[in-house]
Structure 1
Amino acid sequence: MIEGYWTALCCIMLFIMLATGWSSWINKHIKLTLLIPMVIMIWLGHMQQWKLEFLLGQGTLVVSGSFLLIALLQFAALFRNAALQIRMVALYAAVLAMSLTLIRALMVISPWAGANISIIGISIFSGLLLVLLQLQPAEYAAIIYWGAAITEPMLMWQQRGEYSGVIGNMLWWDYVSLAMFFSILFKLLFSFMIKITMNFVHSLGKRMKS
């Protein structure tokens, strides 16, 4: 699969939703004033190949300029969004990073795991893990973003210099985009199932009373 394929697909889905009247719903959960500039920065960073390299121990951590710009944008938004619980997001991002590090380490040391665990599988796992928290999409986005970022240096440390981390390349964005998609999808399905169950219990209660 071409790197960036899933990111491009998610971006296309986003613009289709914006064009078909979902803009108010998206803006309610993830502000478009943040989301649209982020999408632009992802593709500008990819086309311009903005990146910085940091030496961490025996390995090299490559960080895309788009990641740094989006991180600055997120920090600026924190001062205007008191509803986002920073400590809680940081805790869950660390837990997600540890889970991803274990999976990625298994993929590195085991050829079988590397061949059979796809990026879609990891993203589905992340979505299921996050939907159990019952948070808002903006909080899911922050947890996935920083959890994926923390994973790279953790994996470098775990591999003792035999792995070079990359944050913000298109494969990295593929994971972030898909994990965000599945977390929102599972949240909607979970909410839908709860609503159906509550309506069934309510109607059953009315029949029993009658």
Structure 2
Amino acid sequence: MGVERRSKYMLMDFGEHVLVVHLGMSGSMKIVDAQTPWDKHDHIEWKFGEKVLRYNDPRRFGSVEYVKKEAGWEQGFVRFSKLGPEPFSDSFTPESFFAATRGKKVSIKALLLSGFAVVGVGNIYACEALFRSAIRPGKAAGRLSRNNAVELHGAIVAVLGEAIERGGSTLRNFQAIDGELGHFQLHCDVYGREGQPCKRCGALVKRRVMNQRSTFYCANCQR
């Protein structure tokens, strides 16, 4: 069996079929002994010898789909049809990113969260990347200059790389498959720091709600 990832989907390859798993808002997977009692919100398990892989989802926003693996199946899979490139792939370049912003009236933060220009940029990482590139979250994506796009492209790759090194971000219940918690949130420049001094200029970090998501930024540094 092989395991890969596309955006927020985990792909478990079983030969002729692929399990496409999305963890939703609060889902998690963990490896435990086969005799381990099921927790309240455990829904599915896969057995591997004396160990099992358990899928837990308290809010049931996740999904598990069993898909026949045929030639080009990923291109035809409806959930992947509007996804942009992976952030660490050769197809995600400053030029491709700049092109994806052209003509877009939505805010740059909304575009990042949509997964159209690039996948994998969640709310925390969008706030952090926009801060590093000195771009106001509410700025229309189509108004970004080429230099803006180059700066933001680099910030996205850097922020996501650092987040992976630090095990992700645990705000409530996120944990890795081995039960370890992420700690990138402890190193954020703006996310979760409303009313605290900006680490760059000393002005107070602001918070506003955009598209039902809390957005943190420095009005002095970000334009």
Instruction: Work out whether the TM-score is over 0.5.
Output: no
Between Structure 1 and Structure 2, the one with more strand by share is 2
TM-score bracket for the superposition, by shorter chain length: under 0.3
Between Structure 1 and Structure 2, the one with more helix by share is 1
Higher normalized contact order (CA 8 Å, seq sep 6+, divided by chain length) = 1
